[in-house]
A and B are shown apart, each in its own frame.
Chain A
Amino acid sequence: MSWELFIYFAAGALLFWIMGAIAALGNRHRALSIFCTTAGLLVFAFFIAALWHSLERPPLRTMGETRLWYSFFLPIAGLLTYLRWNYKWILSFTTLLSAVFIMVNIKNPDIHNKVLMPALQSPWFAPHVIIYMFSYAILGAATLGALYYLVKEKKVSNPERLMQMTDELVYAGTACITLGMLMGAIWAKEAWGHYWSWDPKETWAAATWLGYLLYIHYRLKKNASHELSMILLLVAFMLLQICWYGVNYLPSAQQSVHTYS
């Protein structure tokens, strides 16, 4: 499978996801919505699997490849949230966000070749990156919830319920970034000699983690303000963006050992 075919698979998957999102908006088509979203996921998953096969290495090395997984995990996060909470708007948002990342990948493809540098040849590579991408998607869904709340603040009919949704998403997402981060630490010990070196990527991963810990702890108090909680979520998601790709544009990144594109 070559990257040139991505546009067709992405278009096919997006079409399914858009149909799924529209079906979810109308209240009566829950089964159809689940079916379409799943079909889109299968199309996309097929592309990832075939790309993996043809590259003879996990397609997780370059920024473009991580965006590929992100566009895949977002509808999954959306679908899980829809199944659990029945918010009809969530699939539209995750589809839109996924489409943005697909567009970036079509506009801006990386060189996709078989080269995998020795430091990345480890059994930790795939689980470390995949779990991070999955958590980014889950936390992306939480962020969409926060935006929804902050934009419609006065009109949200049951804010407690929405907060419960963001709580659940943040707990699951934070659990996953903790797993990803610690797997990274164990891997770093194997590859670079120490489990934590405050490499810029590691520093921003720690900052992201602290950001979500803030939300979790702040929410423990019953008098916590909904608005501030949601703002904390936005801040934490900004930190996450810096950790994921923003770090490459920072002056401190010149020293990073975490650049593989």
Chain B
Amino acid sequence: MKSRSRKIWEQPWGYAEGFIVATGILLTGLMLQLTVGNIEPALFASPVNVIMGASLTAGLIAVYFLLPQNKATKWLSGVYAAVPAIVLLLLLCMILGLTPQLPLSTGRMQASDNLFSRLGWVQMTTSWSFILLCFYILIILELTLLRRTRKKQSWRDIGFYLNHLGLFVALLAGLSGSADLKRFTMSVQEGQVEWRGTGQSGETIELPVAIQLDTFRIEEYPPRLVVVENMTGKILPAAHPESYHFVEIGKTARLAGVSLEIMDYLPHAAILRDSTFVNVVPMMMEGAGTAIKVKAAKPGMEQPVEGWVSSGNYLFPHSTLPVDEFTSIVMPPQEVKKYKSFVTLYSEKGTNLQAVIEVNKPLSVEEWMIYQYSYDNSKGKYSDVSIFELVRDPWLKVVYTGIFMLLAGALFLFIAGPKKRTA
């Protein structure tokens, strides 16, 4: 590309060869995909991934030092190889970002038979083309790093090493480590102990940690009121839907042209309803719903309407207040503010501890991280079931080492900026 007289494959290689090699790797991946199907990550579980990662790293070091003057390794450690590789990885990322992906547990037979599924692009991240391209980039990264060690070092190289070594470490550990990643969900009843987890392909396995759910608690945001169009159920005003958050009894508000006055509020109520009549009474028991009595009026109405509105729950039906024949006042289900589990943990190794697990605050026990994952949605705040996710990732520390190097490298890049060019 540099000089027009140079033929393809004639040294020194440039972008043209870069695109040919990267495309070749992509095509190899596609051929493998067509013949053997998707990559089965379990086949690469430790120690296979350790051996492969170590031999790749060591092998490249050997190649580099045995053939320091080799033109191909020199070319592989430069921009002419890197840019085309990034272009192709970017294209695969775009396909991945455009195509709905199938869960990894979906077998080859279950996937519908079309071009993308045969090329492995409906499970992109375990497809041969994607993984081979990532490893090609790893090779380029390592050779680039090795070549830089031979040059005269300057302070600017700190950023180069942090970014390239950080990416190499994070990418290699992330790719090979995914074979050792274990994720299970565990559903526990209040007052019970559970040690069986469900894996991603639906298998049930006894885990080395057991969870006893002492209490499960959900905190909700205050109820909201909205005005909906009866015909469509859409929240009004259609252009920018509004809602009113309950504050206290006696407050007034205007919502989508309807004036509201909050007459009464029962956070724990039984909502009894037949075809014509709604009766709302306090009920201090599990299953109680939230109800707001509201007076509503629209301009031009002779009399305001008044009645109870409730979002309902698994025990009681929801009830709405029709304002006129077109609009009604509705209470959407209350949004969850926090949910947390008070648990006692037991492990095979003898750990016995009490802890609280909530979203964004996982618990680390031995090799496992335990997450608050979900609960019984049908019962909402009265759920007596908490669902946890248990994750074991032995490679996490290595990946984090790479990530922190990259973070430092990014800071360096921000401060140092590009190399000054002499025009």
Contact = CB atoms under 8 A, between A and B. Distances in A.
A65 to B, nearest CB: 14
B98 A190 contact: no
A252 interface: yes
B406 A252 contact: no
Query: Which size bracket describes the interface of B in this complex?
Result: 35 or more
Interface in A190-214: 190-196, 198, 200, 203-204, 206-207, 210-211, 213-214
B360 A194 contact: no
Interface in B65-119: 79-80, 82-83, 86-87, 89-90, 93-94, 96-101
Contacts of A192: 371
Contacts of B2: 223
Contacts of B221: 114-115
A186 B404 CA distance: 10
A114 B391 contact: no
Interface in B383-423: 389, 391, 393, 396, 399-400, 403, 406-407, 409-411, 413-414, 417-418, 421, 423
A157 interface: no
Contacts of B369: 193
A148 B358 CA distance: 50
A257 interface: no
A168 interface: yes
Interface of A is mostly: helix
B234 to A, nearest CB: 13
B97 A200 contact: yes
A223 B80 CA distance: 12
Contacts of A25: none
Given A121-B359, A198-B96, A252-B98, A214 B414 contact: no
Contacts of B410: 174-176, 178-179, 182
Contacts of A213: 86
A210 B93 contact: yes
Contacts of B151: none
A108 interface: yes
B125 interface: yes
B369 to A, nearest CB: 7
A108 B224 CA distance: 21
A192 B173 CA distance: 19
B407 A182 contact: yes
Contact of B360 (A185, A190, A204, A247): A190
Given A217-B82, A220-B79, A211 B90 contact: yes
A60 to B, nearest CB: 15
B360 A119 contact: yes
Interface string A226-247: 0000000000000100100001
Nearest to A123: B360
B97 A203 contact: yes
A190 B371 CA distance: 8
Given A118-B359, A182-B410, A186-B403, A109 B87 contact: no
A117 interface: yes
B243 A111 contact: yes
Contacts of B306: none
Given A115-B337, A239-B94, 7 more contacts: A113-B243, A122-B360, A174-B413, A178-B407, A191-B359, A198-B124, A206-B93
Interface of A: 108-111, 113-119, 121-122, 160, 164, 167-168, 170-172, 174-176, 178-179, 182, 185-186, 189-196, 198, 200, 203-204, 206-207, 210-211, 213-214, 216-221, 223, 239, 242, 247, 250-252, 254-255
Please name the 10 residue pairs, one residue from A and one from B, whose CB atoms are nearest each other, closest first. Answer: A175-B414, A178-B410, A118-B359, A203-B97, A175-B413, A167-B418, A207-B93, A210-B90, A175-B410, A122-B360
